[in-house]
Amino acid sequence: MKIFTPLPEEYVASALKRGNELLGIKSIPLEDYRIKTVPRGGYGYSPGDKYEYRDHAEFTFPPLFTDCNITNEVLKNHTLYPLTAALGRSRVNTNVTPTSWRIICPDCVVEDSETHGTAYIHRRHVQPSVRVCSIHGAFLLETCPTCMMPISKHEISSLGLCSKKYKNMKRAPNSQQHLYSKFISDLLHYSGKTIPRHVANWCVNAAISVRHGIYDVKEESLILIAKRELDLKIRSTHGSNISDDTFTILAFLGCVTGARYMELITKENSINLLSRELDALRHAFYIKN
Ligand SMILES: [Zn+2]
Ligand SMILES: [Zn+2]
């Protein structure tokens, strides 16, 4: 038996874990919540197949979700899927259900306990590079400040009790990290089709060039900008192996707000203007060199 009654914006694994806690089960197996991407036919280890072309990801779901016919509802409301779709992440390395997810905002714990009768893990906190809560600006915590237990071992249902003693929590309101959390939170509400990968890539790269005034953006510059603006270390920034997390950081470094990114992706005028700005930058670059 499994209990799955997710709260608004709750991460899928959190809802299942709370259900298990009600049944007296302490853990949650990966296969209960992991939503895997299906590789395209003809790629990887299946020689002889016809190459399959598609610019959206396809998924396989744990049996509970297929049996209850709630795969779409779970994908859209309780995973990182909308963010990945907005950013054109359609390849097999796309991860909509990260396995490190046990992280809390102390203010959310207090508020959720009052509003919903329980704390829970929000999906907008689950992306590994998110450090502060997009609503409260509080630093996210991996350890309960009251009982000092790692959140990975803490019962979610008893966080509310511990939160009565939370005090002097660190906050970084209106910081770049706070803006970054808002960027992610905004894109988690995207409800359209997967943006074609080449469109997302072009817009992000062009937006970074224009915002930072660098025509020929090299990996070293991106690493420096990510460190300076967000205090984040990023890994490889090009090729099809770039992770969802790194691409999300790059999208932020170019666009800063979810609204700006969506405008670039969807409005022809904005793309044309960006294109002209990029041309001007290219022109200046070649004159100088
Ligand atoms: Zn919060
Ligand atoms: Zn505690």
Say which ligand is closest to the CA of 110.
Answer: 1
| Cα 147 to averaged position of ligand 2 atoms, centre (Å) | 4
Q: Which ligand lies nearest to the CA atom of residue 112 in the structure?
A: 1
Q: Look at residue 240 and tell me whether its pLDDT is greater than 80.
A: no
In terms of residue numbers, what domain contains 92?
Answer: 12-163
Instruction: Say what the pLDDT of residue 53 is.
Output: 78
The half-sphere exposure of 135 on its side-chain side, counting CA atoms within 13 A, is 13
- Of 120, 146, 163, the last residue of a domain is 163
Fill in the amino acid letter for 78: H
Q: Which amino acid is at 281?
A: L
Residue 273 lies in a domain: yes
E strands of the chain, at which residues?
A: 36-37, 59-60
Domain boundary among 144, 163, 182: 163
Q: Residues 110, 235: one domain?
A: no
What does the pLDDT read at residue 50?
65
* pLDDT digit string, tens, across residues 4-50: 999 999 999 999 999 999 999 999 999 999 999 998 876 555 555 56
- pLDDT range class, residue 236, cuts 50, 70, 90: confident
102 C-alpha to center of ligand 1: Å?
Answer: 14
Question: Between these two residues, 243 and 92, which has the higher pLDDT value?
Answer: 243
In this structure, is residue 147 part of a structural domain? yes
**Are 142 and 217 contained in the same domain?**
no
Number of domains in the chain: 2
For residue 249, the model assigns a pLDDT of 97
Residue 170 in domain: no
> d(Cα 208, Cα 210) in Å, to the nearest integer?
6
149 Cα to the center of ligand 2, angstroms: 6
- For residue 136, pLDDT over 80 is answered with yes
Q: Contact at 8 Å (CB) between 182 and 134?
A: yes
48 and 106 housed in the same domain: yes
208 shares a domain with 101: no
Q: Ligand 1: distance of its center to the CA of 106 in Å?
A: 6
Using the mean position of ligand 2's atoms as its centre, give its distance from the Cα of residue 14 in Å: 16
Does residue 286 surpass a pLDDT of 90? Answer: no
Q: Does the pLDDT value for residue 84 go beyond 70?
A: yes
**Does residue 102 lie in a domain region?**
yes
Question: Do 208 and 86 fall into the same domain?
Answer: no
Q: 65 phi and psi, to 5 degrees? A: -75, -35
Residue 190 falls inside a structural domain: no
Q: Looking at the domain assignment, is residue 7 inside a domain?
A: no
Looking at residue 266, its pLDDT comes to: 92
Indicate whether 135 and 16 sit together in one domain.
yes
Q: Which of 89-93, 125-129, 148-152, 209-213 has the lowest mean pLDDT?
A: 89-93
Q: Sort strands 36-37 and 59-60 into parallel, antiparallel or unpaired.
A: antiparallel
Question: What mean pLDDT comes out for the span 74-88?
Answer: 97
60 SS3 class: strand
Q: Classify residue 169: in a domain, yes or no.
A: no
Average pLDDT over the chain, rounded to an integer: 93
Measured in Å, residue 126 CA sits from the centre of ligand 1 at 13
CA of 26 to the centre of ligand 1 (A): 25
**pLDDT tens readout for residues 155-169:** 999 999 999 999 989
Q: How far is CA 267 from CA 25, 159, 192, 209, 262, in A?
A: 49, 44, 14, 19, 8
**81, 152: one domain:** yes
Q: What average pLDDT does this structure show over 189-196?
A: 96
Output the pTM of the full model.
0.94
Do residue 104 and residue 247 come from a single domain?
no
Q: How far is the CA of 210 from the centre of ligand 1 (A)?
A: 33
Residue 80 domain-assigned (yes or no): yes
Residues 86 and 30 in one domain: yes
Which ligand approaches the C-alpha of residue 9 most closely? 1
